[in-house]
């Protein structure tokens, strides 16, 4: 079962508020010290979500990348670039999700 980031943090806060706060702080520090622009960061996370077969993260970061000005071609290229490293099954998992998100 995959949940979106807000749903995950809501669940985590309920189960263990201290861990939720630690994760929130870690994400905040990483975001504040990130030297990459937001579009590039989201494209990298799309690649990581493809590798992990995380549909929720794929959807979330495809939408974020589009809002930052990423093109359809850049998003598709990000996924296809991983074919040699991840294999065709991971790409076949991610590409339909990406196309669906970009068409919505």
List of domains in the chain: 1-33 (no CATH), 36-103 (1.20.1290.10)
* pTM metric for this prediction: 0.86
pLDDT in tens, 37-65: 999 999 999 999 999 999 989 999 999 99
* Helix residue ranges, H only, the chain: 5-15, 17-33, 38-52, 55-67, 72-80, 83-86, 88-103
Q: What is the mean pLDDT of residues 5-22?
A: 89
pLDDT in tens, 23-42: 889 988 998 999 999 999 99
Contact residues for 85 (Cβ-Cβ < 8 A; gap 6+): 51
Q: Is the pLDDT of residue 19 over 80?
A: yes
- C-alpha distances (whole Å) from 62 to each of 1, 46, 77, 88, 89 are 19, 7, 12, 20, 19
Q: Is the pLDDT of residue 3 over 90?
A: no
């Amino acid at each position: 079962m995959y949940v979106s980031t807000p749903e995950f943090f809501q669940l985590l806060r309920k189960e263990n508020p201290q861990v939720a706060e630690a994760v929130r702080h870690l994400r905040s520090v990483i975001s504040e010290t990130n030297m990459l622009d937001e579009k590039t960061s989201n494209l990298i996370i799309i690649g990581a979500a493809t590798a992990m077969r995380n549909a929720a993260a794929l959807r979330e970061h495809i939408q974020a990348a589009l809002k930052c000005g990423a093109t359809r071609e850049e998003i598709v290229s990000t996924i296809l670039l991983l074919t040699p490293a991840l294999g065709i099954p991971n790409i076949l998992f991610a590409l339909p999700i990406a196309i669906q998100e970009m068409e919505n």
